[in-house]
């Protein structure tokens, strides 16, 4: 094989190898907000997905959301639901029916332009969701 072809192959491999880490570094970021609807313990959740590296809205993704209670593993699990895209770039809606109020770990599985999984722990009340409940520390 001619020496110039070796250099061309080496250069091509270097470009490919250099591009792989940048693609692998792309992760999703989710901002989740849920509000209660008329049905007891049912919440309409708005999820805004962005590319963590670029901040760009994550469009054309498939988003599946499952939920369980971290304080009671395996006791309370919610059947995963598929979110639907809104007209706003990177925004998705999902309806969750929970079994009780309290802290719930939402498992977000993203596929499409990015493939990623995230867990967001939110505290659900009769009105909606907020930050995880703070536990009092023993003195």
Number of structural domains in the chain: 1
pLDDT tens digits, the chain, 139 residues: what are they? 555 444 444 444 444 444 334 455 689 999 999 999 999 999 999 999 999 999 999 999 999 999 999 887 767 778 899 999 999 999 999 999 999 999 999 999 999 989 999 999 999 999 988 888 766 555 5
| Inside any domain, residue 4 | no
| Inside any domain, residue 15 | no
| Inside any domain, residue 126 | yes
Domain hosting residue 82, numbered range: 23-131
Distance, in Å, from the CA atom of 104 to the CA atom of 66, rounded to the nearest integer, reads: 10
* Model pLDDT, residue 70: 86
Are the C-beta atoms of 98 and 116 separated by less than 8 Å? no
CATH number at residue 123: 2.60.40.1940
| Inside any domain, residue 69 | yes
Residue with tokens 């509000």: 35
What's 7-35 look like in SS3? HHHHHHHHHHHHHHHHHHCCCEEEEEEEE
| Inside any domain, residue 84 | yes
* Model pLDDT, residue 2: 54
Judged by DSSP in three states, 39 sits in coil
């Amino acid at each position: 094989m001619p020496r110039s072809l070796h250099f061309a192959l080496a250069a091509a491999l270097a470009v490919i190898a250099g591009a792989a880490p940048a693609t692998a570094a792309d992760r999703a970021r989710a901002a989740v907000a849920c509000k209660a609807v008329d049905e007891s313990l049912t919440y309409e959740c708005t999820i805004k997905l962005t590319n963590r590296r670029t901040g760009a809205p994550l469009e054309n993704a498939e988003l599946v959301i499952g939920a369980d209670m971290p304080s009671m593993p395996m006791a309370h699990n919610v059947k995963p639901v598929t979110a639907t895209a809104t007209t706003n770039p990177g925004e998705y809606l999902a309806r969750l029916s929970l079994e009780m109020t309290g802290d719930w770990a939402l498992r977000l599985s993203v596929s499409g332009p990015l493939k990623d999984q995230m867990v967001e722990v939110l505290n659900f009340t009769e009105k909606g969701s907020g930050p995880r409940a703070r536990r009092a520390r023993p003195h």
